[in-house]
Amino acid sequence: MMTAMEQMGVRAKEASRALAVAGAAKDEALAAIAEALVANCDKILEANRLDLEQGEKNGLSKAMLDRLALNPQRVQGMADGMLQVKALPDPIGKVLEGGVRPNGLHITKVRVPLGVIGIIYEARPNVTADAAALCLKSGNAVILRGGKEAIHSNTCIAQVMRQALEGSKVPVDSIQLVTDTTRQSSIDLMNLTEYLDVLIPRGGAGLIRAVVEQAHVPVIETGVGNCHVYVDKDANFAMAADIIYNAKTSRPSVCNAIETILVHQDCAGEVLPMIKARLDEKQVQLRGCERTRAILGDSVVPAIQEDWSAEYLDYILAVRVVDSMEEAMSHIARYSSGHSECIVTENYAAAQAFTSRVDSAAVYVNASTRFTDGGEFGLGAEIGISTQKLHARGPMGLNELTSMKFIIQGDGQIR
């Protein structure tokens, strides 16, 4: 007898076959979902209120509650994301390359959907809508498994999306949500080898590590963001303070927020007080090396080894003074999660060296790491930010949710 997860897999596989050839019907479905999200905003916010109340009772941090919270603007943002994805070119069927072999065979490589995508994520209900939009547009059925913190919000959003599909030519089971938030449902999804083509975890380090270690289906690793800003000796100091303030405090609970700043010794005495003054506006706790504390005083908490590899997702920032850019790059190579790094400098040679030698998915010169996002990169939305190197790296949009196949046309050739 099939388990509930296997039954979802069967329905998703069947839906994926129809989606693969749905064409313009996908865009019509995305428009219907966008309209439905706006029309049901009050209903979605009421469900979200239940999650927020439970989160406060369970002692979730302010940063985690911010990840969980919805408001009319964020619901509108989900709807806008649907329309942005709708407006993007359909990747399915796009010819990547082709040619004619000496024997007369016409060989063409084209984009095709992956098939059925599973997504395990935590307390961000907007992921429910963003992931569904990208999977649908790229011709993939999706099985969503959110965290218990957002179960009311996720259930409501999924119901709204599925109801919108009922009036479209796209199968309703193109979007399915696992409502069982026990650990067993995650294990079942990670073992859905007969139906699932790829599994994408989106959340904290613990979740991603568990999926990578336990899954029996292919996994695209995403999300952990131990991101850095290096302030070079030739930096514009006011710019550095602005970038660091934005990259840490605009939304500290997300993976593209910075967790460590590295400051060249030649400018540390002048720039660190400027940086601290800005961060004090949001009561950011600094955890610094001894040279940092010598400049900024005892208000800076002494940094320990674990601080350099921590993803705080909170108003906490590690600070280290380095002797050179070489030392900064060595620090990043050792502790970075491979997500996003930034150099602030007016020195062209330093910028070129940093971007060519730092091995992360996104490397910035004089800009906040908060731009590492599918929407900001022109992808419409993102399924997550891949920190691995196989198949996909960085913000994952439509193209990253496709594979390819070869179409060969002949006129009787045999080998």
Cα–Cα distance for residue pair 85/137, rounded to 1 Å: 7
Nearest CA-CA partner of 235 in 260, 270, 259: 270
Cα–Cα distance for residue pair 259/337, rounded to 1 Å: 11
pLDDT on residue 68: 92
Q: What is the pLDDT of residues 243-261, one digit of tens each?
A: 999 999 999 988 899 999 9
**pLDDT tier, 390 (very low <50, low <70, confident <90, very high otherwise):** confident
Long-range CB contacts (within 8 A, 24+) of 289-297: 289/319, 289/320, 289/321, 291/265, 291/320, 291/321, 292/263, 292/268, 292/319, 292/320, 292/321, 295/268, 295/269, 295/321, 296/272
Share of the chain above pLDDT 70, in %: 100
248's tokens: 């840490």
Cα–Cα distance for residue pair 181/150, rounded to 1 Å: 10
The answer on pLDDT for 380 being more than 80 is: no
pLDDT on residue 250: 95
Q: What is the pLDDT of residues 292-328, one digit of tens each?
A: 999 999 999 999 999 999 999 899 999 999 999 999 9
151-165 and 25-39 helices, crossing angle to 10°: 130
- For residue 116, the Cα-to-chain-centroid distance in whole angstroms is 19
pLDDT on residue 66: 86
Q: How far is CA 318 from CA 173, 244, 329, in A?
A: 45, 12, 16
Mean of all residue pLDDT scores within the chain: 94
pLDDT on residue 385: 86
Residues in the chain: 415
Average pLDDT on 257-267 reads 98
Q: What is the pLDDT of residues 88-134, one digit of tens each?
A: 999 999 999 999 999 999 999 999 999 999 999 987 899 999 999 99
pLDDT on residue 4: 92
**pLDDT tier, 375 (very low <50, low <70, confident <90, very high otherwise):** confident
Q: What is the pLDDT of residues 41-72, one digit of tens each?
A: 999 999 999 999 999 999 988 878 888 999 99
Cα–Cα distance for residue pair 290/297, rounded to 1 Å: 10
Q: What count of other Cβ atoms lies within 10 Å of the Cβ of residue 405? A: 9
**pLDDT tier, 28 (very low <50, low <70, confident <90, very high otherwise):** very high
The answer on pLDDT for 203 being more than 80 is: no
First to last CA, the chain: 45
Contact 226, 339 (CB under 8 A): yes
Nearest CA-CA partner of 342 in 352, 357, 355, 323: 355
Nearest CA-CA partner of 267 in 340, 325, 333, 341: 325
For 55-99, the DSSP string reads HHHTT--HHHHHHH---HHHHHHHHHHHHHHHHSPP-TT-EEEEE
Q: What is the pLDDT of residues 333-360, one digit of tens each?
A: 999 999 999 999 999 999 999 999 999 9
pLDDT on residue 237: 98
Q: Would you give the DSSP letter of residue 253?
A: T
Cα–Cα distance for residue pair 410/106, rounded to 1 Å: 6
pLDDT on residue 333: 97
340's tokens: 């996003």
**pLDDT tier, 207 (very low <50, low <70, confident <90, very high otherwise):** confident
Contact 191, 216 (CB under 8 A): yes
Q: What is the pLDDT of residues 131-187, one digit of tens each?
A: 999 999 999 999 999 999 999 999 999 999 999 999 899 999 999 999 999 999 999
